[in-house]
């Protein structure tokens, strides 16, 4: 399996510009309308739309060195049939649709409240003392294989990078499947030493697709208070 440094990776991110007068930030949660909730879930500091970078295919030697031949080491990630999602095959001409995936910082109170208010069924559960990032945009039928194995493989390559501090490795990855699509839910232990100007970079590899997306703690505030 590949391990790539951040340098040299091209990653496009479409980030919504938060207007100063957004209604969800001027009301108590109990006063939110469904429209307020939908606005937060589509355009707020906890929501990022990203286009993954595509990694080059491995040759036979690289596959053997990474343990993919003669074993089950990386079968889980290969079972993510992502080319069907992005409209291309595993060729040099492979294309990724701009903003194909949506990331949600699920552990933030405003996000959880907005999901309830918007009537979203099957929203991820959030454990106390965890950071949770959900990856949305996979169509139904994306997964083909042993779900437990896929989850373990995704966990191995999911981290929150925390500049100047030790990176936080995913403790697990839950997979939610329903008729609306597949959601990958990355769960991380919450560190104790959080500063208001911290930046967390969510890094994840999914087969040949790689995401590196920052979340800025100082932006993720609700009514003047940190919401992570």
Dump pLDDT digits (tens) for 145-203: 788 888 998 999 999 998 888 899 999 999 998 777 889 999 999 987 777 788 999 99
- Asked if the model's pLDDT at residue 92 lies above 60, the reply is no
Dihedral sign, Cα of residue 127, residue 132, residue 137, residue 138: negative
User: What's this model's pTM, rounded to 2 decimal places?
Assistant: 0.78
47-65 pLDDT, tens digit each: 999 988 887 765 555 444 5
**Contact of 76 with 39, CB cutoff 8 Å:** no
Total length of the chain: 228
Q: For the chain, which residues make up each domain, given as ranges?
A: 12-226
Confidence of residue 143 (pLDDT cuts 50, 70, 90): confident
- Could you report the per-residue pLDDT of 108-136, keeping only the tens digit for each? 999 999 999 999 877 888 888 899 999 99
How is residue 86 written in tokens? Answer: 């992005």
Residues 6 or more apart whose CB falls under 8 angstroms from that of 173 comprise: 151, 154, 155, 158, 184, 185, 186, 187
162 with 194: CB under 8 angstroms?
no
209 versus 55: the higher-pLDDT residue is 209
Query: Which whole number is the average pLDDT over 102-107?
Result: 96
Both structure tokens of 133: 């990032």
Angle, alpha carbons 67-8-187 (nearest 5°): 60
User: What distance in Å separates the CA atoms of residue 71 and residue 77, rounded to the nearest whole number?
Assistant: 13
Provide the pLDDT confidence category of residue 95 given band limits of 50, 70 and 90.
low
């Amino acid at each position: 399996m590949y391990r790539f440094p951040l340098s040299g990776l091209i990653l496009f991110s479409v980030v919504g510009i938060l207007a100063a007068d957004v209604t969800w930030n001027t009301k108590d949660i109990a006063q939110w309308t469904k429209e307020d909730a939908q606005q937060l879930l589509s355009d707020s500091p906890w929501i990022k739309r990203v286009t993954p970078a595509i990694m080059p295919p491995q040759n036979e030697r690289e596959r053997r060195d990474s343990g993919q031949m003669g074993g089950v080491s990386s079968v889980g990630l290969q079972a993510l049939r992502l080319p069907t999602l992005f409209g291309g095959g595993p060729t040099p001409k492979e294309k990724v649709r701009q903003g194909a995936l949506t990331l949600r910082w699920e552990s933030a109170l405003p996000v959880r409240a907005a999901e309830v208010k918007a009537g979203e069924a099957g929203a991820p559960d959030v454990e106390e003392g965890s950071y949770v990032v959900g990856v949305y945009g996979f169509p139904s039928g994306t997964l083909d294989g042993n779900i437990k194995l896929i989850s373990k493989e995704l966990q191995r390559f999911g981290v929150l990078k925390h500049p100047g501090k030790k990176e936080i490795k995913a403790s697990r990855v839950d997979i939610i499947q329903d008729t609306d699509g597949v959601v990958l839910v990355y769960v991380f232990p919450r560190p104790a030493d959080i500063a208001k100007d911290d930046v967390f970079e969510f890094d994840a590899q999914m087969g040949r697709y790689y995401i590196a997306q920052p979340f800025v703690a100082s932006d993720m505030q609700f009514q003047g208070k940190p919401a992570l």
